[in-house]
Amino acid sequence: MLSFTWVLIYALIGISTLVNIIVPITGSATVTPLLAMLVDPHRALGMATFVFLLSAPPRLFFFWKDIQWHEVRALLLPSVIAAFVGAFALVVVPARWLLILILLFSIYFLLKKLRVIPKSDKPARLTNYLVGLLSGFLQGTGLSGSDLRNQYLYAQDLKIAEVHGTTAMIGGANFLIASLVRLHTGQLSLPDISLLLYLFPVIFLATWLGKGILFRIPQKISDYIVISIMTIVVLLFAYKIFL
């Protein structure tokens, strides 16, 4: 039977999924730190990879007609290859470094959202291959690669719905490869997967709700919701590290 803490984590991941559909933020800023509050960082990264894999099918279902296939063809192959390498690279990273790295990423994403770190009006136009390679490697390691890929896609004037569909196709492939590698190397186990399967209906419902209210609520309110969630995650995770 699931403990109350796990149920709470599921609920928070569901909320973050809903918010992510409305106002795209990186899952690494919420999902990975939440899981790392309950398990060791290596295991948290492995489990987060599977959570992101579970998130892909609902997004593909709801945003299928918005997928930009020319971008998928350009980014998919280098991204999957790099994700395979990144999933193996995680094994040699010390656990303490991962804890600190996850916190630093969480703080960085929060500062970006608060505009303390300014966002570029014109993202650098990287080549398709480089974007696919770097974003795939980061996603393979369990860190945020979607930010780089999404910046590129937004620079191509894609709408939010188009980014959701396109990045779900590419990210889903990355996370499938990374999950298989982690199962093979022991970074992820079948009991871990069984714990996370309960999340799928939560993620599906959150994605459906998110699509339904996309563009219907004021941006200012969306920003307040995102900032609140990210701030709570940073504070709780910092407490876990320095306790």
| Mean pLDDT across 166-182 | 91
> Which of 28-32, 171-175, 203-207 is least confident?
28-32
Residue of higher predicted confidence among 56 and 149: 56
Q: Stretch 229-238: mean pLDDT, rounded?
A: 73
Residue-level pLDDT at 2: 64
* Size of the chain in residues: 243
Mean pLDDT computed over every residue of the chain: 80
Query: What is the mean pLDDT of the segment spanning 13-41?
Result: 79
**Helices then strands (H, E): number in the chain?**
11, 0
pLDDT at residue 165, rounded to an integer? 93
Res 88 pLDDT > 60: yes
**Coil, helix or strand at residue 115:** coil
| Poorest-pLDDT segment among 16-25, 63-72, 78-87, 103-112 | 103-112
Range in 55-64, 131-140, 164-173, 214-223 with the lowest mean pLDDT:
214-223
% residues pLDDT > 70 (the chain): 80
Task: Please answer whether residues 165 and 66 qualify as being in contact, where contact means their C-beta atoms are separated by less than 8 angstroms.
Answer: yes
| Residue 171 identity (one-letter amino acid) | G
**Positive or negative torsion for Cα 91, 94, 229, 161:** negative
57, two tokens: 């099918």
Q: Which of 25, 9, 17, 21 has its CA nearest to residue 227?
A: 25
Residues 43, 86: Cα–Cα separation, whole Å: 15
Rounded mean pLDDT of 71-96? 80
Which pLDDT score, from 0 to 100, does residue 1 have?
Answer: 59
Q: What pLDDT score was predicted for residue 49?
A: 87
Rounded Cα distance, 79 and 236, in Å: 32
Inter-CA distances, 160 with 21, 25, 100, 151, Å: 9, 12, 31, 11
- Provide mean pLDDT across the span 142-152: 73
Question: Which tens digits make up the pLDDT trace of 97-121?
Answer: 666 766 776 677 677 667 777 765 5
- What pLDDT score was predicted for residue 59? 95
Provide the phi-psi class of 56: left if phi over 0, else alpha when psi is between -120 and 50, else beta. Answer: alpha
Can you give the pLDDT at residue 9? 83
| Domain extent listing, the chain | 4-242
Residue with tokens 């995770």: 237
Q: Identify the pLDDT of residue 194.
A: 87
pLDDT digits (tens, 9 = 90+) for 192-202: 888 889 899 99
